[in-house]
Amino acid sequence: MVRRKMLTALVTVAGLYVLAAAVLALSQRQMIYHPTTAPTRVLEAWAQAAGLLPWRNATGQRIGWMHRYPTGPAQGQVLITHGNAGCAVDRAFYVPVLQRVAALDLFILEYPGYGDRPGSPSERALLAAAEEALGCLASDQPVYLLGESLGSGVAAYLAGRHPERIAGVLLIAPFDNLTHLAQHHMPLLPVRWLLKDRYPSDRHLAGYRGPVAVLLAGRDEVVPTRFGRRLYDGYAGPKKLWESPQARHNEVYDQPARFWGEVISFWRQHSVGLGQ
């Protein structure tokens, strides 16, 4: 009788475990990607209020939003790859903080399935969109990347895939590999076997040798700092680390002007552009 009860309990636990793994396998992209979607007219109104203009590809499709440097010719371009939540127009706050310290044109990529852009988000879809976006930027000006959270994986991919085009990188709340981060959040499940979208930033950055700036949130509840530190420690090129000790994940983006100036100065020290 005791053996039968133990066997029944083991079978039940095993069944629940398999069920949980199946749920993870089937719903993982819904767990990773949290897009804000809205009708085109609503997004255009939000963008207009923020001073953003449509950024279009060669066929005329809007692939994001842009803001040209307002008081003269730009000396560089920043491609922004945002995190897993919201949409591109939400990142208009980068415009004043960056253009206040450098003559930069800003381009904010919209991911497939976000905003009103057709498609569904996945690693393959986001990286393909980023490839296209990079190809839409001017080839006679330096390109800098700003990747936040999940977007740090997209930025790392571009830097490693096109090192000759990328003059500098800023990664905000990054991770070394999404598989490691997901395993941290779900330690009992076989995430390493099930995860489809892995964003191996550490491997991608191995192909880059330009300046990489990293900003960490000391109290990050989404991407604990150790994952960003692993990425930073493993990078062999010029690098600089900042940490906001009291910031949580969604607070770390709010940095004083001094920080943005320091990032620009770091880029200047190690790359051509921005007036050099």
With pLDDT > 70 as the criterion, what percentage of the chain qualifies?
Answer: 88
pLDDT at 276 exceeding the cut of 80: no
Q: Cα-atom radius of gyration of the chain, to the nearest Å?
A: 20
Asked if residue 12 and residue 143 are part of one domain, the reply reads no
The pLDDT, as a whole number, for residue 274 is 40
Model confidence, pTM: 0.90
Asked if residue 179 and residue 137 are part of one domain, the reply reads yes
DSSP string computed for the chain: -HHHHHHHHHHHHHHHHHHHHHHHHHHHHHHH-EE-B--HHHHHHHHHHHT-EEEE-TTS-EEEEEE--TTS--S-EEEEE--SEE-GGGGGGHHHHHHTTS--EEEEEPPTTSBT--S---HHHHHHHHHHHHHTS-TTS-EEEEEETHHHHHHHHHHHH-TTTEEEEEEES--S-HHHHHHHHSTTS-HHHH-S----HHHHHTT--S-EEEEEETT-SSS-HHHHHHHHHH--SSEEEEEETT--TTTTT---HHHHHHHHHHHHHHSS-TT-
**What is the spatial distance between Cα 69 and Cα 99, in angstroms, rounded to a whole number?**
7
Asked if residue 96 and residue 53 are part of one domain, the reply reads yes
CB contact at 8 A, 98 and 260? yes
The stretch 84-98 carries a mean pLDDT of 97
Inside any domain, residue 10: yes
With pLDDT > 90 as the criterion, what percentage of the chain qualifies?
Answer: 82
The pLDDT, as a whole number, for residue 8 is 53
Q: Name which of 12-16, 128-132, 229-233 the model is least confident about.
A: 12-16
**What is the spatial distance between Cα 12 and Cα 2, in angstroms, rounded to a whole number?**
15
How many domains in the chain? 2
Whichever domain contains 245, its CATH number is: 3.40.50.1820
Inside any domain, residue 194: yes
Asked if residue 125 and residue 2 are part of one domain, the reply reads no
Inside any domain, residue 255: yes
> Which of the two residues, 185 and 19, has the higher pLDDT score?
185
Within a 10 A sphere around the Cβ of 24, how many other Cβ atoms?
17
Asked if residue 65 and residue 3 are part of one domain, the reply reads no
Q: Which whole-number Å values give the CA distances from 189 to 8, 22, 115, 128, in the listed order?
A: 21, 10, 32, 29
Inside any domain, residue 275: no
The stretch 206-235 carries a mean pLDDT of 97
Asked if residue 26 and residue 133 are part of one domain, the reply reads no
pLDDT at 183 exceeding the cut of 90: yes
Asked if residue 212 and residue 154 are part of one domain, the reply reads yes
Domain that holds residue 238: 35-270
> Which of the two residues, 97 and 271, has the higher pLDDT score?
97
pLDDT at 218 exceeding the cut of 60: yes
The pLDDT, as a whole number, for residue 186 is 82
Asked if residue 155 and residue 265 are part of one domain, the reply reads yes
pLDDT band at 101 (very low <50, low <70, confident <90, very high): very high
